[in-house]
Structure 1
Amino acid sequence: MTTREDVSALVQRMQECFNSRQFDQAADLHTPGFYSHPLGTPGFEAGKRAWQVLVARHPGIRVVAQDILVDGDKAAVRSTVEGITVPDGDTPPMLFEIFRIEDGRFAEMWGAGTGFPPEAGPEELLAG
């Protein structure tokens, strides 16, 4: 059984891979059958390409977990997104993700974002 501490460490390792742009290392954190529901694709490669597009558009982007809640084989993560310019007074963008964990690795992901300027939103990433 995966512990709360194990899942929190897994999420933090994934975010560090993103923040340090070590995308290849993140592949090992995902099962071979990993499925991203927002991207509608199996495997980590589509997610890696999405990360590459995102950092090309926003070179200073970083994600920082604010809350990690674990229940059984699921983890809910609320993260702030830094490095994307928002209008004065607006709150920074946030990501809300739910992961299913299998054998200590990410097996599935669902996600949504809020507070993104129109040109920086996840919808734009998926359309590009």
Structure 2
Amino acid sequence: MTTREDASALVQRMQECFNSRQFDQAADLHTPGFFSHPLGTTGFEAGKDAWRTLVARFPGMRVIAQDILVDGDKAAVRSTVEGIAAPDGDAQPMLFEIFRIDDGRFAEMWGASTGFPSSASPEDLTAG
């Protein structure tokens, strides 16, 4: 079973890797068989590519966990996204992710976002 403290520390380490653009270090936080449901891929290489695409579009983008809820081996995370102008005064962009954690590493991820500019949401990365 994953504790709230362990899951919070893992999420914060991953977000620090993203925010500091240390994408290779984030790979160690994922199991070799990590599966991203939004990207439909196994392994973290596609995740690193998606992160690179996002920061190329939004160089000032940062993510900050607001809520981390843990139930068994799953952690649900609601994060605010900074560095992206919300269209027409809309709400600040947010990410919603659920992770399955196995032996202290991310094994699986589901995700959705809201408030991103049209055609620029993380879910659209598989098309571009």
TM range (shorter): over 0.9
CA–CA separation in structure 2 for the residues paired with 1:60 and 1:36: 24
CA–CA separation in structure 1 for the residues paired with 2:20 and 2:52: 12
Matched residue, 1:27: 27
In the TM superposition, 1:104-115 aligns within 5 A as: 104-115=104-115
Tell me the secondary structure at the aligned position of residue 120 of structure 1. Answer: coil
Matched residue, 1:53: 53
Matched residue, 2:36: 36
What is the CA deviation profile of residues 64-105 of structure 1, one whole-angstrom value per residue up to 9, with x for unaligned ones?
A: 000000000000000011111113431111000000000000
CA–CA separation in structure 2 for the residues paired with 1:123 and 1:35: 15
Task: Give the structure-1-normalised TM-score.
Answer: 0.96
Contact map agreement 1:97 1:109 (CA 8 A) in 2: yes
CA–CA separation in structure 2 for the residues paired with 1:64 and 1:126: 23
Identity of aligned residues (%): 84
State the shift of 1:32 in Å: 0.5
Contact map agreement 2:61 2:82 (CA 8 A) in 1: yes
What is the CA deviation profile of residues 42-84 of structure 1, one whole-angstrom value per residue up to 9, with x for unaligned ones?
A: 0000000000011011100000000000000000000011111
1:82 and 2:78 correspond: no
Tell me the secondary structure at the aligned position of residue 87 of structure 2. Answer: coil
Contact map agreement 2:39 2:123 (CA 8 A) in 1: no
Moved over 3 A (4+): none
